Amino acid sequence: MLRAGCQLLGQASVAKTGSNNFALEFVRWRRKPRWLPVAKSKLFRVPERKKQTEEERTELMRLHNQYKTQLRSVRQYLREEVIRYEETSTADHIVLTPEQEEAEFQRCLDENAAWNAAIAKEREIRLAKERDEKVVYVQERLEAKKLRDEERLERANARVLHEIEQSKTFITRENLDAAIETALANPVDHNFAIDMGGNLYYGRNATQFPQETTNEPPQQALSN
Amino acid sequence: MPFMKGREPIRRTLKYLNAGKLVLKDKVRIFSVNYNTYGEHHAGAREFVFWNIPQVQFKNPQVQVLTLKNMTPSPFVRCYFEDGRDMLIDIDGKGHDDIIDHLVKVVGKTREQLDAEARLAESKDNPANFGYGCDRHCICEIPGQIACPGTVPLPEKMRGKFLFAPK
């Protein structure tokens, strides 16, 4: 960009090869340096505004609007992304202040108290019902026991009366001799066979039995 | 415990345990359930202990979960908080679904809070993430993953040179 010398300013901007000029530089862009003032001849020149047709103006406006809209939406998206990232990278937004936490806890306590009260009411009803059922049950059992005891007493009484009745025929020390006499006088012979028709067959006379046993060996007697 | 043995082994599957709805608040330190093994009005509490206690303990590893049997006339849940207070929740005659719903409302974290915490945990602590600002720069740093092709050539079955080479 730098010029080799002022002499180049007046020359054409074409590359010069084979020149005898020393320190020649290839100049592609020529411009007046920034530090030089406006030329005297151009000092009071007012550039003419370009005329735009109506079509061109509307078209440019459309493009402009489109560009602005797109840029705005991108900017908004980036802003939201930053917010989203901040939300997920710190715990600030889910951590409650102590007051909020306390209020939340109180709300939970109240809710739980309501729940407990409802259950307590239900339980009261259930317990009352169970109590009534228990009373009825105990009453039934008591009555059943009473009945059972009465029956038992009755049975015992009957038994006692029966025993008393029986005791009239008991053999006691006083009537022992009379009983022995009676037994001897009326021997009972159980030594008989019986058939399916219920007929009894006496094989021998029981009164002869003791005499036979004395004559025979005990084994034979047992085998009979 | 062997796999799929015992009473209702579904309770020990990860899917079931992860499906637990009750994530207790951070303030809760002890979660105790009192119930009896008999009695009609303890049925819901028994069901709760049977079905939901594994989930509660799984979802709240930092909380002590207690069950106390046959020490009370009517069943209840008691939560002890870190500031020394406690909350007594009567569960007499309630079904285990009612109980868990109420517990979520009273001592559980809200849905929004859980979502926010999940996002927070995922965006920062997900060990599967890699790249800028993560634990590792590339997935190739994990043993067993394929090395970067710039360092070690890819397996031949992944390279077009060999895939499309004429037989």
**B107 interaction partners in chain A (CB closer than 8 Å):** 108
**Shared domain check, B60 and B135:** no
Whether B122 maps to a domain, the answer reads no
- Contact yes or no for B99/B90 (Cβ under 8 A): no
B106/chain A closest Cα distance in angstroms? 5
Residues B49 and B78 in one domain: yes
In a domain? residue B103: yes
Q: What is the pLDDT of residue A14?
A: 45
B133 Cβ contact partners less than 8 Å away, ≥ 6 residues apart:
none
Q: What pLDDT is attached to residue A221?
A: 42
Instruction: Give the pLDDT confidence score for residue A154 in this predicted structure.
Output: 97
Output the pLDDT for position A12.
44
Could you tell me if residue B141 is inside a domain? yes
**Is B37 a member of any domain?**
yes
Q: Are residues B23 and B53 in the same domain?
A: yes
Same domain, yes or no, for B48 and B106?
yes
Does B72 fall in a domain? yes
Asked if residue B135 and residue B109 are part of one domain, the reply reads: no
The Cα–Cα gap between A154 and A157 comes to: 5
Structure confidence at residue B77 (pLDDT): 96
Q: Using H for helix, E for strand and C for coil, what is the string for B94-137?
A: CCHHHHHHHHHHHHECCHHHHHHHHHHHHHHHCCCCCCCCCCCC
Interface contact A50, partner B, CB < 8 A: no
Cα distance from N-terminal residue to C-terminal residue, chain A: 160
Q: Does A63 touch chain B (CB under 8 A)?
A: no
Q: How far apart, in whole angstroms, are the C-alpha atoms of residue A84 and residue B119?
A: 10
- At A91 the pLDDT is 67
Looking at B96, B116, B136, the residue that finishes a domain is B116
A·B CB contacts under 8 A: 55
Q: Is residue B57 pLDDT above 70, yes or no?
A: yes
Asked if residue B121 is part of any domain, the answer here is: no
B19, B39: one domain? yes
| Model confidence band, residue B10 (pLDDT cutoffs 50, 70, 90) | very high
Total-model pTM: 0.54
The HSE-up count of residue B95 (CA atoms within 13 Å, CB side) is 2
What are the tokens at B159? Answer: 């390279």
pLDDT tens-digit profile of B116-162? 888 777 666 567 788 887 888 888 988 999 999 988 999 999 999 99
Residues B140 and B99 in one domain: no
pLDDT averages per 10-residue partition of chain A, 224 residues: 45 47 67 88 92 95 98 96 78 78 93 96 96 97 97 97 91 90 87 88 62 45 44
Answer whether A70's CB lies under 8 Å from A78's CB. no
A147 vs A136, A151, B65, CA distance in Å? 17, 6, 53
Q: What is the C-alpha separation between A29 and A13, in angstroms, rounded?
A: 8
B2 in a structural domain: no
Domain extent for B149? 127-163
How many structural domains compose chain B? Answer: 2
Subunit contact A115:B107, Cβ cutoff 8 A: no
The DSSP result for B52-85, as a single string, is THHHHHHH-TTSEEEEEES--SS-EEEEEETTS-
CA B165 – CA B167 distance, rounded (Å): 6
- Per-residue model confidence (pLDDT) at position B1: 67
Of A90, A94, A112, the CB nearest to B87: A112
Judge: B92–A123 Cβ closer than 8 Å, yes or no: yes
pLDDT, position B124: 60
- Residue B18 sits in a domain whose CATH number is 3.40.30.10
B80 shares a domain with B148:
no
Tell whether B132 and B93 lie within a shared domain.
no
